[in-house]
Amino acid sequence: MDYMVELDKESGILLFTITREERRNAINYNVMNGLREALDRALNEDVRILAITGKGDKAFCSGGDLSTFQSLQTEQEAYTMLSKMGEFLYELAVFPKPTVALINGTAVGGGCELAAACDYRIARTGAKIGFIQGGLAITTGWGGGTLLFERIEARLAFKMLSEAAVFRAEQLDDFGFIDRLHDRVGMEEARAFFTNEQSIDSHVLRAYKQMMIRKWQAGDLKSRMEKEIRACSVLWGKEAHHQAVAAFLSKNK
């Protein structure tokens, strides 16, 4: 099993943990299916909040597992994978309850897209975070770029995406991407972050979330994410991407 789904009954926080620590919690198809399971379970009445993290203290999520996805060569092959995860990230973004990414370590590439789909991001001080997809000759491909433009100022989102650079969590706190910094990040910090919400009727929280969802629906968020996924699929099928992936895998053997 590449993931765990656990409910903290006292707080009502359902924690989805990617448990591929040896792969820096990279996302494969099993993890995608685990996210589907977590989203379904989080709809239960006993769940107030959905939290997402990675096992250990090295990485929150290093994005898509290139050793798994390097076999995807064509635009259509890429689109099949990208659209599957993109659908899950859209569901996470418009999930009717509060969501939070517990960034306990490095979050890069698709890991940043996963974090961007959550309502909030709590990060460990010094954590390295970046949308590095440009270095692999592709764009964000799960809808995370579109979501980033919804989370922070457009000029800052554009800077993060186009540089394909890795930032420290403290810098992204200034950008507005990070909502809280801690020396360590886990369930304790999640409980503390949502202390006030614990006293609010869950139906009230859902009603407020619906206000944001309606804004996104009016702005055609899903269609814009789909166009992002399509654009990435085209780039994925090009030789420049395949060469960049081969060079990356060779360097990290």
Per-residue model confidence as pLDDT tens digits over 190-244: 999 999 998 899 999 999 999 999 999 999 999 999 999 999 999 999 999 999 9
Using a 10 angstrom Cβ sphere, with 0-12 exposed, 13-18 middle and 19 or more buried, the burial of residue 15 is buried
Three-class SS of residue 107?
strand
Which pLDDT score, from 0 to 100, does residue 250 have? 84
Using a 10 angstrom Cβ sphere, with 0-12 exposed, 13-18 middle and 19 or more buried, the burial of residue 72 is buried
Tens digit of each residue's pLDDT (9 = 90 or more) over 16-66 = 999 999 999 999 999 999 999 999 999 999 999 999 999 999 999 999 999
Residue 70 has pLDDT above 90, yes or no: no
Helix orientation angle between 202-218 and 221-236, rounded to the nearest 10 degrees: 60
Please give the model's pTM, rounded to 2 decimal places: 0.97
Three-class SS of residue 213?
helix
Report all structural domains of the chain as residue ranges with CATH numbers, in order of start: 3-185 (3.90.226.10)
The whole-number average pLDDT for the span 6-14 is: 96
> Which residue's entry shows tokens 């399971």?
37
CB 14 within 8 A of CB 150: no
Amino acid of residue 220: D
